[in-house]
Structure 1
Amino acid sequence: MTQPPPDLPGLRFERLLGSGGYSDVYLYRQQLPSRQVAVKVLRDSGLAEAQRAQFTAEANAMAGLADHPNIVPVFSAAVSADGRPFIVMMFYSRPNLAVRAASERLGVAEVLRIGIQIASAVETAHRAGILHRDIKPANLLINQFGTPGLADFGIAGQIAAIEDDPDMGVSVPWAAPEVLYATSPTSVRSDVYSLAATLWHLLVGRSPFEERNGDNSPFALMRRVRDNAPPSTGRQDVPGSLDRLLRQAMAKDPAARPPSAIDFARGLQAVEQELQLPRTEIVVTTEAGDAPTPGEGPQLWQSAPATVARPASFSPQGSAPPAVNPPPPPTTARPAAYAVQGGAPTRYAPSSAPGAARTEADGRARRGPLVLVAGGVLLVGVLAVVIGFAVTGGSGKPKPIATVSNGVDTQDAGQLGENLPPGRPTVTGTRASAGVLVFRWTYSAALPSDTFEWREVGTSRRGVVTEPLLRLSDPGGSHCVQVRVVRIDGSNASATFSPKGCVP
């Protein structure tokens, strides 16, 4: 529930701008210098320490990137007299791009320009060691001059952090499948996916896997994100090269996507050249390409951008893009920490080569996201991280496994009604090969939509899988796993975990 705005020294309240899962954003008038500012305030002064730390991390992340022309600047951060932390930011007066996309289809040229500018911001954040993790149209703000700014680093995290924030929220329609299902760690390529999904939304007016007049509940969207191929925009004025780039950037396998935000931006530049549009410059920090150790400042980068190694599944086209004379560089001065990327952009095309094989995760414990959904927070049974991966049939969609447990054929369970509770799983484990543990389980009254929460006994490894099969990295020794069934509505259908299934 929205709380009254706090009394803040030097600021006069004007109106509420919006509300999120745990904070409200207000418009204030700053007295000196006189200007309007946006103030983000934690809704409850009694929030958990983890949420306060997350809020502090947002202030620090945005302040550290404030010089970038496409990142919303932070002016200050403090705690109000009633104990609520707040951040004072630049006020962007025009409607955000989610509002605008709901009423009009943006032109191709404008979407390309916005995409390159926001990709520049994302690349800069990545080079500072920060993942955004919630890129979406509502977080793209527009100032009075029409310049976009990336906002809401509220769930941003350090790339080099050892553990993810267990209370991290994600916005389902634009999140990568590995983020929703924790099949691999969140990475730079996860942000690339979200940026591509956001640009697709701006072109079409809805998120990529949303269906008109269909079931667009979080669970339905999650399954389509996981199972369905990225769709075409269907717009006649969108060139095939842009459609291909967006679909490749939304590939299920992170290894098949552009390896960085700057590579994605160069692909967008290539489309601009193809359409003979003025080239939008890529503006990135001049620090080294590798993410610095958290706490270290940016390191100046004097040479040309380093070439980024690409996997075999992501290959430049053999032909060079058509020559277009680029416009002269603008005369406006930029902070010394930023540089315009020169040189011809690289063109990319989807490859028919299979993506790189997904490797076993390193065994580091990760717990899963809360799923942020339009106007509120929905707690979803997506506990990150599945250190193995879900096994599917040849179609890429989950296939129910026919087993018999307690005398009930699980393939016929649906005929008995979806309200029939599942039997308690029986778990067995084997050591499949050096370094790989495999656990399987059977249970009665199974439904094809069931998912499974698992935990390893005696460790912090846990997660969710979509098939009754789990692969884990094997550090040696004895390992035991317990499982419980989760129905599609998010309920834990089996109230308690199964007996242990062990590998000696």
Structure 2
Amino acid sequence: MQLGSGSEADVYLYRQHAPNRQVAIKISKQQMDSQAANRLRSEADFMGRICTHPHILSIYGSGITATGHGYTVFEYASGGNFKAFLEHDRLTADQMLTIGIDLASALFTAHRKGIIHRDIKPSNILINAQHMPMLADFGIAGTIYGGPSVGFTVAWAPPEVLANGGGGNEASDIYSLGATLLAMVTGQSPYEYAFVDELGDFRGKERVERLQAIILAKPLPAFHRPDIPAPVERVLHKAMSPAPEDRYYSALEFARDMQRAQLEMYGHTERTTIEGEADIPTDLAAHARLTTTATPTTAESSRRGTSRTKPLAIVLVALAAIVAIASGFLFLIAPHMDTTSDDRAVQVSGSGPGGKTSGQDNGNVPDSGVVAGSVPQVRGLSGAYNAAGTKATFSWTNPDPQDGDAYAWSLVGGTGERASSRSALTSSTSIAIDPSGETQTCIKVSLIRADRRMSDTPAMACAIRP
């Protein structure tokens, strides 16, 4: 049974023999050249590093057949995706915040392992059998400190990505998540909703070009919707600030502010699911305990959904006959395809997936890889311009030097160019940067071990032009 079709791959539903389960298999439309094969391996590697998170779609395997086609076998998300859901339903602001905290937890998990998504949008948020949102389609993802990657969707991309023709970083992912969450309430991407009159009857390529011009030229206005309380709108607007440096510094910070807004407005808050981080921030913990039905036990604290009030009822589309799949089945997906289920119609009743069931136990699927606190933050990061104002020099120290240590640095705002285009790895504890006429230059630096683990939180400092 075909679930969907993209520009470079098709997606099918199969039943795997061993173990006996339904799986989604993405299969390339064309035979793979070496570049496509490398992209396939890259996507599989990305997903394998982060898919233990309960809100990131699991990958079961990938490979290439003797005919040159390849495959990626994924967890089957039977509830479809939010693009299909938004065609006929909406979430309340409370439900949207719950989904948002879950997805921000997943995004932070990816970011701190060096992976950015670059194409977060409703069609890439799937809904699994437990009614849980799943971040999917990392096909155009890349490492935070690697080179730029082409691929984005205009309606959900931030201005700096549109202005530079691709790429992105943590800040651009946060923007796209904020835009996606707003659409879960309004039904449209932010600028399509806010400037509906100016988009008028434009269709196809002309509409995309017009939308891009609006995003680049105009700030996002306030919405003044009675169903989006002011504290909730404030959080979303910060996530979608036109200037990357004005957005949340991390997806975790975004999740924390959503928790505060949810508790303030609705008297409860969803918990984050991030290894090594408290599930409720310290400043909310005392009040949050008063809003739960009971104090969680150690076992219960690893379970999800204690704050759900309106579970999503997913009515699955009737399935055609399921083709048996041999345990050694080999097929492919090319990573730059559209999302797995973009074209699949899914029926959803009720007011949406604001309430996933509370039965998912995360205790047996920890986010392995980067252990919180295992790689320290660099210390003493500081910067200064030279007397002529032509160079900004930054230096720092390593609190625990080890063989193979390196440092990843990147610009933080303050420049007219994409931050990811001014970033690099270095083995030195100092760098000199051409400030390009800016009044200040800011950078962030992470310590990276030889095994590719990196600091959970980068250090940041600015140099001010004399």
Q: TM-score, normalised by structure 2?
A: 0.61
1:62–1:435 CA distance, 2 compared to 1 (3 A): closer
User: Gapped runs of 5+ residues in structure 2?
Assistant: 304-360, 373-411, 424-433, 439-466
Q: Report what 1:259 is aligned to.
A: 249
- The equivalent of 1:246 in structure 2 is 236
Cα distance in 2, alignment partners of residues 18 and 179 from structure 1: 27
204, 215, 239: which one pairs with 2:202?
215
8 Å contact 2:151–2:166 — kept in the other structure?
A: no
Aligned mate of 1:65, from 28, 31, 50? 50
Q: How big is each residue's C-alpha offset from its partner over 1:112-146, in whole Å with a ceiling of 9 and x where there is no partner?
A: 11111011110000011000000000010001111
Q: 1:25 to 1:277 in 2, by over 3 A?
A: farther
Structure 2 distance, partners of 1:362, 1:66, is 27
Indicate yes or no: 2:44 matched with 1:80: no
Residue identity opposite 1:357 in structure 2: G
Matching residue's letter, 2:28: L
Aligned with residue 119 of structure 1, among 104, 122, 126: 104
Structure 2 partner of 1:95: 80
Q: 1:222 to 1:94 in 2, by over 3 A?
A: same
* Aligned 8 A contact 2:260 2:284 in 1: no
8 Å contact from structure 1 (residues 127, 285) kept in 2: no
Asked if 1:17 is matched to 2:3, the reply is yes
Residue 246 of structure 1 and its aligned partner are, at CA, apart by 0.8
**Take 2:19 and 2:416, find their aligned partners in 1: how far apart are those partners?**
54
Where 1:109 maps in the other structure, the secondary structure is helix
Paired AA for residue 365 in structure 2: P
SS of the residue 1:63 aligns to: helix
1:187 matched residue in structure 2 = 169
Whether the 8 Å CA contact 2:118–2:167 is kept in 1: the answer is no
CA distance in 2, matches of 1:360, 1:198: 24
TM-score w.r.t. the length of structure 1 is 0.57
Pair 1:236 & 2:293 matched: no
Q: In the alignment, does 2:26 pair up with 1:40?
A: yes
Summarize deviations over 1:348-398 as a string: whole Å, max 9, x none: xxxxxxx963366799599xxxxxxxxxxxxxxxxxxxxxxxxxxxxxxxx
Equivalent in the alignment of 1:425: none
Whole-Å separation in 2 of the counterparts to 1:340 and 1:278 = 29
How many Å apart are 1:436 and its aligned residue? 4.3
| CA contact 1:109–1:277 (8 Å) conserved in 2 | no
Q: Kindly state the Cα deviation for residue 95 of structure 1 after the two structures are TM-superposed.
A: 2.3
Selected match of 2:151 from 138, 162, 169: 169
Structure 1's 36 and 205: CA in aligned 2 closer, same or farther, altered over 3 A? same
- Greater CA drift, 200-209 or 329-338: 329-338
Within the alignment, does 1:142 sit opposite 2:124 as a pair? no
Aligned-residue offset at 1:215 = 3.0
Letter of the 1:215 partner, please give it.
Answer: F
SS where residue 77 of structure 1 aligns? strand
Show CA shifts across 1:137-160 (max 9, x none): 001000111111100000000112
Distance 1:183 1:63, change over 3 A: closer
Question: Which residue does 1:358 correspond to in 2?
Answer: 415
CA distance, structure 2, for counterparts of residue 51 and residue 249 of structure 1: 33
Deviation sequence 1:372-427 (CA, Å, 0-9, x none): xxxxxxxxxxxxxxxxxxxxxxxxxxxxxxxxxxxxxxxxxxxxxxxxxxxxxxxx
Query: Aligned equivalents of 1:57 and 1:363: distance in 2?
Result: 19
* In structure 1, distance between residues paired with 2:152 and 2:418: 21
TM-align CA RMSD: 3.2
Q: How many residues align?
A: 312
Distance 1:214 1:230, change over 3 A: farther
1:159–1:187 contact (8 Å) kept in structure 2: yes
Partner SS state of residue 62, structure 2: strand
- Whether the 8 Å contact between 1:129 and 1:158 is mirrored in structure 2 is yes
> Offset of 1:323 from its aligned partner?
3.2
1:320 Cα deviation from its structure 2 partner: 8.4
Q: Is residue 331 of structure 2 the alignment partner of residue 274 of structure 1? A: no
Whether 1:323 aligns to 2:287 is yes
Q: Structure 1 vs Structure 2: percent identity of aligned residues?
A: 34
- Counterpart CA distance in 2 for 1:22 and 1:257 is 33
* Secondary structure in structure 1 of the residue aligned to 2:68: coil
**Residues 364 and 262 of structure 1, relative CA distance in 2, 3 Å threshold:** closer
Alpha-carbon distance change, 255 to 222 in structure 1, aligned in 2, over 3 angstroms: same
Give deviations 1:188-217, integer Å, cap 9, x for gaps.
010000000000111100111114444361
Asked if structure 1 preserves the Cα contact closer than 8 Å seen for 2:160 and 2:417, the reply is no
- Is contact 1:27-1:39 (8 Å) kept? yes
Residue in 1 aligned with 2:180? 198
Note the C-alpha offset of 1:337. Answer: 3.4
Distance 1:362 1:18 in 2: 35
Larger Rg: 1
The residue type equivalent to 1:87 in the other structure is: T
Match of 2:400 in 1: none
Q: 1:335 aligns with which of 358, 365, 381?
A: 365
Secondary structure at the counterpart of residue 323 of structure 1: helix
CA distance in structure 1 between the aligned counterparts of 2:9 and 2:420, rounded to whole angstroms: 34
Q: CA deviation at 1:184?
A: 9.8
SS at match of 1:275: helix
Specify the SS of the correspondent of 1:209: helix
The 3-state SS of whatever aligns with 1:169 is coil
Q: Which residue number corresponds to residue 152 of structure 1?
A: 137
Which blocks of at least 5 consecutive residues in structure 1 are unaligned? 1-14, 287-302, 308-318, 342-354, 367-433, 439-504
Deviations 1:439-484 (A, max 9, x none): xxxxxxxxxxxxxxxxxxxxxxxxxxxxxxxxxxxxxxxxxxxxxx
Residues 142-187 of structure 1: CA deviation (Å, up to 9, x unaligned): 01111111000000001121x223xx21111001111111299621
